[in-house]
Structure 1
């Protein structure tokens, strides 16, 4: 199921390093038109002089000219950073290793992605049996000259005869669905348009369920609000206009819906949402009786009060992970054919967060999170105790996909100092063997990954990961440090590998990731403590993290940089206004910068769960108090700021970053630069080709290192 908590963003963990002793030339920012727009909001007069920059760059020549002018200034500045080439070379080296995605078994076939290292996009392969020869099924690198058209999600039919997949072009959230005959390698004529935030669910071999919105008006695809999502069934060999409507709520156009099908093909589970909160309604369709009853949906969970994550179904039984009456989640099951179906608790709530579960063979695999790091265990289907799985230190485990009867499952494990390795686990013995391990150009053991806890402004204990080379840690001297945060939408930040971050660490810097309130690291209470009227807690946590790094002698007092993307871009913008003295440099990526108008574009309307409603007075006062665009402090020295966005970002529309940058450049903020880097044929982050990722990473590293004093060793 597509989890809407990811709607605002994803993990934007890029990093930096470079310095030149030569003085930088004076920056002449482009002239930006200021309009006299002033509106009354609950008795307060709010100016919005740069609203014209909200227009879609494709349809607004004046905005396109502004973008070109800003990019010219930024490119000229970045080109003058002497370490830019060095970092491009090092990031490229750290990315140049063969990497695999988690295998998915269907019938006797195993499907998986593979990138040789520097290919723009990963390719999709299939093997007949684990020892079979790899066969290339899909090569998205042939789809576009600039490499910006990506293979997104994919799902084989149950026996592996067909492959349903989605295509992402230029970074947009819109998807095109297509189908491939696996045996022949031929494309079917089937094509679906205007799918977005969709799961992919096969119904036998005859067709599939998917979610889409009505086609937007001409020229409005990248800005119009998303309403009236519905689930459809597409029968292979037919056109999209013949698709059957499966589930919709026309009386509630703000509701969204996604569909899953249990592994035995018996039940379709429709999960509905109203925003980004993990609060769902669940309906069930008995596919065995579809010819008699059609797409009749039976309500299972009503009320939009709790999270319900489908684990699996077998016959008339369903298993879910839920936080109903359990803020840190528990595992429950239900018998749909019982006289009075009731939820039966298999695994009660524990201190650790139960992130997800899966049925493999005749056992349950449980994924837990403790202090933002993973551990897992296997138990019986009846909840009987099993065994814990050994993982390699502080890191993130993912995968464990399977179905009843499978003898095996696959999982990935990664950390800050090592890319994902793929393992095959025998479900009976619990023993794991490597399926694919990366060959690296560096020694992971040369880097120290540790977790520390610090105290926020109100006394809350907050965890933070700190990564340095062991040589830097042993020297005990403060070094330029990059602090990353997100703090929102119930998203937990866990350890993961970044080639760009490794270039920063190799150069002698430190990296810190703070697990701020608003995230999902400790369940519902942690999330609630960092949203809506409690949003200031997130900023306080981030500021306290920076102060802690300096107090502990990890970060140089004049060498602390901050970075965040999407909701994390908002975070960076807010803390720069509140504590500009604390930071030497900042990168705000694809951020939500105008908190009074975020709900007027694309998926922005969903975010009211975390932010509140700008048109409600109580919420407005909170939003107005921290909105980055509205709280820039003219006449105060700010750190060096690099804003990044992309022309095809239809998640957080680029107008947020455009307006924020224009306001920064119009204010008197001292001698340090305020620049914006605007990518073309890119979106919110996913699907970005390798070369573009390397170029962006090198620009960020060079910029941050210039202003933190990091000099590559």
Structure 2
């Protein structure tokens, strides 16, 4: 572990290097995939203890842990709207006294006035104590337009699988005899007030290879689920099948969605008589919203529109009444981003469409209004050079609730009406003196000439190379936008703040695979093109070195989930460049990832390792297969959750075992709860931030040379 193993212990676990591993039989650590296996958990406990023994005695650890907990539990945080329900708003509030949260409701008027009068609906901590469960809040789906009945989802320990129960807003109680579903990765939505769309685990044949529902049924109130009528069925190799409904004015539109792969969908409109008709959306289009009787989608490939060809990244709309009547109209282009823009979020209010775009990774909010012959757009007046996120929109009236922040500016929540100026409702307090730091957006040149943007934060007036933490993701169309330093990088709490406060540099790299520049940015890192995202990351690191902002060996690469593939690959490819690797809830063994939990659902992103042609390119960068027993590899820190039922904990465990066999320095922290997001509460998030800070200081130092 962090102390070099004795030779005998190393030999006990050593196997032949697995660079050429092509079969499961070649993997000596497959036993670590037994999630709750006694032997596996004993090894996890040993690694956890060894890591804590080294890092918790570092002088910065107790200070950082206490500071992180204070920031995360700050009662001055914004009470973000979970949902705007008519003239009311709901929020989940977490603080030191309520680590799992209070789900509560207030009038929209009091909320917008900045003085919300909250009524607690569910005390998640108390519910857990009453029922002897470690409940984690997963959200509530309340039936519009009355919003009196909700489907509440709670998870034992934070897994993706959850329990669904019907809740009555008026009484503040779960509905006796109401809709309930046992723990499963269910797809559940309202059909009407007495009927649900349900896809759930019903035993053999009911789930896809990815572990999600394969069947959709209509379940009537007061009946046994066994009598529910099946209305849709997918294939075993599909990702999932689900039903959902959208209220557009007074009209409820209902849909079925079959997802043959992660990036393809087949939508059907459920007509009033219960029959279905296929929507004309291309398989690779993204269903975004319903507004003014139109279904709105984002394109990922060209499509003939009414008067010209619509290009990838554009928003287009089809009239649903025409589709219901059996017609196949051409779509209307409703929004066209510029060359430097990408549509990242879309939400509908009563009469308006709200579109958040990235323009060279800076956020802008666009209002789109239906009309003939075309829809009308205007940019809303919000601070420039910021990260903007759509929090919620109103179902009655046309107001969008937007957060605006930057790396050095804490979030502010605005109510943005269709008519009138944006109004600041609440702001988080500054947690540090921003005048001490600078933020720059820079561009590196990747191996194929592509310009790759990145944000650099460092202390003002500091000369010379600095230890530098680079965080990136690079996959699944997920853009990485700069957030306030107390929230960077993702799931590591205020680690970035602690790092720059210590005199170091932090970088957010916008590498290919994400959605920063629309579909092309993602497609350039798909499958056999995955190396582009790794080359982009190297390019950012090399650019920092070339400009004497850092130096080789004092760079930490950070990534989470898909980012585990990223940091594992870059560490293997350029051990000369990186001195530390932070790998959270990581994918690592790409030879077996499709056989572990939800892994089969991501084959459209990475490739299918069981197909020789795919494995031929995947084996070139799969982190696990390319780990080396050579000296001088970067010291990795793996953090994850035993209860992660999305990315299997076996990935990180097996990588750790290999480091151990090779006698390499590594750190490991597997939390028993938390699911894929790892931390089930702020206590664990604070601990992780402190451990990571101590690890970075130990491995790549702190402060200018």
Shorter-normalised TM-score: what interval? 0.7 to 0.9
Contact 1:593 1:657 (C-alpha < 8 Å) held by counterparts: yes
1:216–1:38 distance in 2 versus 1, CA, 3 Å = farther
State the alpha-carbon separation in 1 of the partners of residues 127 and 201 from structure 2: 25
The verdict on how the C-alpha distance between 1:188 and 1:170 changes in structure 2, with shifts beyond 3 A counting, is same
Query: Are residues 119 and 40 of structure 1, via their aligned partners in 2, closer, same or farther at CA, if it must alter by over 3 Å?
Result: closer
- The 1:544/1:72 distance shift into structure 2, 3 A limit, reads same
Aligned to 2:370: 381
Give a deviation string over 1:422-466, Cα, whole Å, max 9, x none: 22122222x211222213333445443321111012211111111
Does 1:627 find its partner at 2:613? no
More deviation, 516-525/106-115: 106-115
For 1:516-555, list aligned pairs within 5 A: 516-555=511-550
**Structure 1 residue 310 corresponds to structure 2 residue 288:** yes
Contact 1:111 1:125 in 2 (8 A): yes
SS in 2 for 1:450: strand
SS of the residue corresponding to residue 684 of structure 1 reads helix
Partner of 1:4: none
Compare relative contact order (CA 8 Å, sep 6+) and give the higher one, 1 or 2. 1
> CA separation of 1:656/1:372 partners in 2, compared to 1, >3 Å: closer, same or farther?
same
Q: Which residues of 2 match residues 288-307 of structure 1 at below 5 A?
A: 289=272, 293-294=273-274, 296-301=275-280, 304=283, 306-307=284-285
Instruction: State the partner residue of 1:680.
Output: 672
2:231 is matched with 246
Match of 1:13 in 2: none
Q: Equivalent residue for 1:142?
A: 126
In structure 2, the CA distance between the partners of 1:317 and 1:538, relative to structure 1 (3 Å rule), is closer
Confirm or deny: 8 A CA contact 2:163 2:182 kept in the other structure.
yes
3-state DSSP of counterpart to 1:138: strand
Aligned-partner Cα distance in 2 for 1:541–1:177: 42
Could you say which residue in structure 2 is the equivalent of 1:184?
A: 171
Give the counterpart of 1:663 among 639, 658, 662.
658
* Alpha-carbon offset, residue 514 of structure 1: 0.8
Query: Higher mean Cα deviation, 541-550 or 111-120?
Result: 111-120
Q: Are 2:262 and 1:270 aligned?
A: no
How do 1:151-550 residues align onto structure 2 when only pairs under 5 Å count?
A: 151-158=137-144, 159-189=146-176, 190-196=179-185, 198=187, 201-215=189-203, 225-226=210-211, 228-250=213-235, 254-263=239-248, 264-277=250-263, 279-286=264-271, 289=272, 293-294=273-274, 296-301=275-280, 304=283, 306-314=284-292, 316-325=293-302, 326-337=311-322, 340-342=327-329, 343-351=331-339, 352-382=341-371, 383-399=374-390, 401-402=392-393, 405-429=396-420, 431-468=421-458, 472-497=459-484, 498=487, 499-550=494-545
Whether the 8 Å CA contact 1:192–1:240 is kept in 2: the answer is no
Contact 2:357/2:364 (8 A) holds in 1: yes
**1:647–1:683 Cα contact (<8 Å) kept:** yes
**In structure 2, distance between residues paired with 1:40 and 1:462:** 30
Q: Determine the C-alpha separation between the residues in 1 that align with 2:22 and 2:560.
A: 32
Q: Check conservation: 2:148, 2:169, Cα contact below 8 A.
A: yes
Q: Distance in 1 between matches of 2:10 and 2:17?
A: 21
Return 180-189 or 141-150, whichever deviates more: 141-150
Q: Does the CA contact (< 8 Å) of 2:197 and 2:242 recur in 1?
A: no
| C-alpha separation in 2, matches of 1:105 and 1:445 | 36
Check if 1:65 corresponds to 2:51.
no
Q: Identify if the C-alpha distance between structure 1 residues 243 and 188 changes in structure 2 by more than 3 Å, giving closer, same or farther.
A: farther
CA contact (8 A) 1:559 1:708 kept: yes
Retained in 1: the 8 A contact 2:317–2:332?
yes
How far 1:96 sits from its partner (Å)? 3.5
Deviation of 1:702 after TM superposition, in Å, equals: 0.8
SS of corresponding position for 1:487: coil
* Cα distance between partner residues in 2 of 1:130 and 1:485: 40
Q: How many Å apart are 1:339 and its aligned residue?
A: 6.6
Supply the distance in 2 between the matched residues of 1:118 and 1:640 (Cα, whole angstroms): 37
- Partners of 1:589 and 1:360 in 2: how far apart? 36
Question: Residues 121 and 147 of structure 1 are in contact (CA less than 8 Å); yes or no, is this contact kept in structure 2?
Answer: no
Q: Is the 8 A contact 1:213 1:230 kept in 2?
A: no
Q: Distance in 1 between matches of 2:703 and 2:456?
A: 20
Cα gap change, 1:685 to 1:359, in 2 (>3 Å): closer
Q: Could you say if the C-alpha distance between residues 621 and 384 of structure 1 is closer, same or farther in structure 2, counting changes exceeding 3 Å? A: closer
Q: Is the 8 A contact 1:171 1:648 kept in 2?
A: yes
Does residue 109 (structure 1) correspond to residue 96 (structure 2)? The answer is no
Question: Which whole-Å deviations, capped at 9, do the CAs of 1:464-521 have from their partners, x for residues lacking one?
Answer: 11123xxx23233322210011111221111223123222222222110111111111
Q: Decide whether aligned partners of structure 1 residues 321 and 443 sit closer, same or farther in structure 2, where only a CA change above 3 A counts.
A: same
Match of 2:109 in 1: 130
Query: 2:99, 2:125 within 8 Å by CA — same for their partners in 1?
Result: yes
1:207-241 Cα shifts (integer Å, max 9, x gaps): 43344343479xxx9x9851543333444455544
Residues in 1 aligned to 2:382 and 2:533: alpha-carbon distance in whole angstroms: 31
Please report the RMSD computed on the Cα atoms of aligned residues, expressed in angstroms: 3.1
Contact residue 276 and residue 489 of structure 1 kept, 8 A: no
- Cα distance change, pair 201–41 in 1 and its aligned pair in 2 (3 A): same
In 2, distance between residues paired with 1:93 and 1:227?
38
**Within 1, Cα distance between the matches of 2:436 and 2:388?**
22
Aligned to 1:214, what secondary structure does the other structure show?
coil
Structure 2: gaps (5+ residues): 111-115, 303-310, 488-493
Shift of 1:650: 1.3
Distance in 2 separating the partners of 1:91 and 1:43: 43
Distance in 1 between the 2:451 and 2:189 partners?
A: 42
Distance 1:322 1:588 in 2: 33
Q: TM-score, normalised by structure 1?
A: 0.86
2:32 to 41, 44, 53: 53
Q: How has the CA–CA distance of structure 1 residues 339 and 167 changed in structure 2, closer, same or farther, with 3 Å as cutoff?
A: closer
Residue 360 of structure 1: how far off its partner (Å): 2.5
Question: Aligned partners of 1:128 and 1:415: how far apart in 2?
Answer: 29
User: What's the secondary structure of 2:676's corresponding residue?
Assistant: coil
Provide the C-alpha distance between the structure 1 equivalents of 2:700 and 2:443, rounded to a whole number of angstroms.
Answer: 24
**Separation of aligned partners in 1, 2:321 and 2:680:** 44
The alpha-carbon distance between structure 1 residues 214 and 194, as it changes in their structure 2 partners (threshold 3 A), is farther
Unmatched segments (≥5 aa) in structure 1: 1-23
